[in-house]
Amino acid sequence: MAAGKKAKNIGKSVKGKTKEVTGKAVGNESLETKGRAEQAAGDAKQAAQKAKDALKH
């Protein structure tokens, strides 16, 4: 996996987790939901990139 893409995907997952936790702490369901969605998107992109890399080798 390209280091830049890997870092970007991990960053998106971490950012989503941060939003989720913050939303939960302050009772903001909208922020919590956005965080979960962002985290899932980052995880999905990471999985797709890993699968793509597996096919190359």
Token code pair at residue 48: 């797709």
Query: 52 falls in which pLDDT band (50, 70, 90)?
Result: confident
pLDDT at 27: 96
pLDDT at 33: 96
pLDDT at 1: 52
Q: Is 10 left (phi over 0), alpha (psi -120 to 50) or beta?
A: alpha
Span 1-48, pLDDT tens digits: 577 888 888 899 999 999 999 999 999 999 999 999 999 999 999 999
